[in-house]
Amino acid sequence: MWKRFFDSRSSNFSLWADNLKLVLRSSNFSLWADKLKIVLPLALFAASSVPAPAVKWILPDPPARQYWGVAGGTVFTVWPGSLYHRDRRGLGGPRGLVRVGYEEDGDVFMVNYLAVEPVVEGPRGYSELEVSQLDQVRGKRFWPVHPLLGPDVEPREPEFRPEFTRLFRHPEGHEVLEVGIGVEPFRNGARPFLVLAIDSRRPEELVVRELAASDSAHIRQCIITATMGNYIRARRLWLAGEVVESSKLYPNFSGNGFAPPTVFTRDRLLLKDGFRWVAITPDEADPAGVWPMPGGGWHYAGAPVTQYWRARDDHPEEDLLANVNGRATYWAVHVPIPGGIAFENFELIRPFHTGQEFIFGITRKTPQELGW
């Protein structure tokens, strides 16, 4: 047992050691005590159960690898980390966004961005579009931290360090990977904090848990929107019992802007296993075979995938909505999207409750295989 406990390959011992280093570095004794109360039971529980991991976890190894995830499943990072396929690696993309994609045979494929858009008693915040108050550059700063440090962490330069990972075994036997994401305060006073998690039982999903800092303005909604449906040219929206085509939803739209948002109420969303689901898919058999621009701009290099949101079907007294819009040209470059208008932003909207979760999935499974 002791050999296995101290084996350098054991993620359980590494978790214990990394968490302990984090809390011992803190100059705040109360923080140290609170964190220790949480970390030690997790570490002792993990040490007492030593079966091999159910999946192969991917942790950062900078500078070559600046992302987290699971082999054969979801990967994620924030700026300046990149998930683009090897022919475009290192571009990173815009700030104020979580990058989400998938891993396959040692390579990663970018699929979509997730923006954070909190609503308070006033204007809606836009993490991708607002100018940072830290350096006056467009895009709010995101920075990875250990999730146990909580939502009151101060802004810092983004670093991709394995010790920011909370990796533990759930009492039911599966493993969970978690990373905290600090978010720069918004102009409207909102200061959300995210915990991004992957459950080893569902490696094709990214759980987005929402919290708020103690000095945040009151958040009415904290919208997590998938911003880049036109990257894969997603034109099919899957609801309960119907599929909506982007060309039929926006038959006369043209130009360089966004097609008007369209909202679908809770009863229009698929109900399955206590969750409401909504999905988008491309209408092309091989989206990677289309090159929209010379030089590879806006080229999607991955496989055709289903992207979906799901959220618990609780709080029936409150709204739970799906919202989409569309574009006929690619963002910023005004190049027409091959094949016509595609869905762009794709999100679920509900009132904010601290600790609530939205789950974003990327899978090779078809909507029919998922239960549509």
- Residue range 233-275, pLDDT digits in tens: 999 999 999 999 999 999 999 999 999 999 999 999 999 999 9
Domain extent for 168: 57-222
State residue 53's pLDDT score.
54
The reply to whether 141 and 274 lie within a common domain is no
Domain stops at, among 13, 30, 52 = 52
| Six token digits for residue 90 | 């290192």
Judge whether 221 and 366 are in contact, CB under 8 Å. no
Q: Is the confidence at residue 26, as pLDDT, over 80?
A: no
Whether residue 61 is found in the same domain as residue 205: yes
Q: Give the count of domains, the chain.
A: 3
Residue 226 pLDDT: 98
Residues 122 and 204 placed together within one structural domain of the fold: yes
Predicted local confidence at residue 93, as pLDDT? 78
Range from 50-64, 244-258, 343-357 carrying the lowest mean pLDDT: 50-64
Predicted TM-score (pTM) above 0.95: no
Q: What is the mean pLDDT of the chain?
A: 87
Q: What is the pLDDT of residue 68?
A: 98
pLDDT tens, position by position, 303-330: 999 999 999 999 999 999 999 999 999 9
154 in the same domain as 62: yes
Q: Are residues 16 and 64 in the same domain?
A: no
Do 76 and 127 have their domain in common?
yes
Phi, psi of 266, rounded to the nearest 5 degrees: -50, -40
Quote the CA–CA distance of 324 and 267 in Å, as a whole number: 16
Q: What pLDDT is recorded for position 7?
A: 32
Tell me: do 40 and 72 sit in the same domain: no
Q: What is the pLDDT of residues 129-179, one digit of tens each?
A: 999 999 999 999 999 999 999 999 999 899 999 999 999 999 989 999 999
Q: Are residues 215 and 234 in the same domain?
A: no
Domain boundary residue among 187, 207, 222?
A: 222
Give the pLDDT score at 3: 32
Q: What is the pLDDT of residue 304?
A: 98
> Which residues lie closer than 8 Å to 320 by C-beta, 6 or more apart?
265, 266, 269, 276, 311, 313, 348, 349, 350
Last residue of a domain, one of 222, 244, 273: 222
Confidence band, pLDDT 50/70/90 cuts, at residue 122: confident
Q: On the CB side of 274, how many CA atoms lie within 13 Å of its CA? A: 3
Report CA 355 to chain centroid distance, whole Å: 15
